[in-house]
Amino acid sequence: MSGPFILDHDAISARLFYPWPDPFLDPFYVKGAAGRLGCWYGNFFPEGMTMFRFHGNGETVREYRDDFSGQVADLKINLLLAEYRGYGMAEGRPLLADMLKDFPAIVEATGVSADRVIFFGRALGSLYAVHAAALYPRAAGLVVESGIADPLELIMERVRPKQMNISPEALRNAVERVFDQRGNLAGFSGRTVIMHTRNDELISVSHGESLYALAGGAKRLVVFERGYHNNIREVNENAYWGHLREVVRECSG
C-alpha cells in the first residue's frame, strides 16, 4: 500500500474521526474531492485578511459559527471555517490523507489572494493548516493551537501497524511522505505562531515546542500556564485574543 492508502485505512479512520451531523444557518458550500462540504464564510471586510480555520477531530464548524466568529470579526478580518467530510453539513467519509485534496478547493472558492491569508489549525486540524501553508507558501501567516508535531505518535497511540497488516517501517514512511511537518514548516516564510497550554493532557506541550523549533521565518511560541486541551481559549481568553490580534497586525503590515 502507498502512503495515502495506508493512512486512509479503516482502522485509522475509525480511531481518529468522530463525524456527526451538526447543521447551522447560512453554510458556504464547497465542492470537495468527494462531495459537498458545508463550510462557513464570514466575508465582511473587503480589504481585510482572511483566516482559514481547521478545527479538531471532536469539533464541527457550528461550534465556531457564533462566538468565535464574532471575536474574529472584532479583529477586522474575514473567517472561513473549513469542514471535514462527514462532519456537520459535509458529505462523504473522513479520511486522514485523502482529505488533503479538499483544501485547495476551499481556499480557491473564496477567491482570496494567498498573501492575504492566515491559516489556523487546532489539534488534528494543525496537520491540515501546516499542509495548506506549504501549498500556499506566500500566505501571510500560520497559527497552530494545541498542534501535532509528530503525526506518527498520534496514530500509534490509537492503532498498531499489525492491525493493518503492514510493518512499523511502512507506517512511518507513509506518515513522513504525506505529512512532512519538518519540510512544510521549514519552507514556510510567513509569520508562525504556536500556542499550547503547558497542561495539555491530550497533546503534550512538547509537540508545540517541536513545531516552534521546526518553523522557519518569523515565529513565536506561546505556552499558557493555565488551562487544558479543551479550554485553552476560554481560560486564557484575553491573552489568547491578544496574540491573535498581534499576528493579524504583523501579517497586515
Domain boundaries, the chain: 16-158+184-252
* Per-residue model confidence (pLDDT) at position 2: 57
* Per-residue model confidence (pLDDT) at position 106: 98
Residue 245 grid coordinates: 490580534
The mean pLDDT values, 10 residues at a time, for the chain of 253 residues are 83 97 98 98 96 98 96 98 99 98 97 97 99 97 99 96 96 96 95 98 98 96 98 98 98 87
Helix, strand, coil tally for the chain in percent (to 5): 40, 20, 40
* Per-residue model confidence (pLDDT) at position 105: 97
41, 76, 110, 246, 251 from 45: Cα distances, Å: 12, 7, 13, 18, 15
Of residues 115, 130, 103, the one with CA closest to residue 194 = 130
What separation, in Å, do the N-terminal and C-terminal C-alpha atoms of the chain show?
46
* Per-residue model confidence (pLDDT) at position 30: 99
* Per-residue model confidence (pLDDT) at position 4: 74
* Per-residue model confidence (pLDDT) at position 3: 62
* Per-residue model confidence (pLDDT) at position 58: 97
Question: Nearest 5°: phi and psi at 3?
Answer: -50, -55
Q: 119 near 147, Cβ under 8 Å?
A: no
Which CATH number fits the domain 16-158+184-252, given the four candidates 3.40.50.720, 3.40.50.1820, 3.40.50.620, 3.20.110.10?
A: 3.40.50.1820
Gap between the Cα atoms of 144 and 221, Å rounded = 10
* Per-residue model confidence (pLDDT) at position 243: 98
Give the angle subtended at the CA of 221 by the CAs of 218 and 226, to the nearest 5°. 160
Enclosing H/E stretch for 209: helix 205-214
* Per-residue model confidence (pLDDT) at position 1: 58
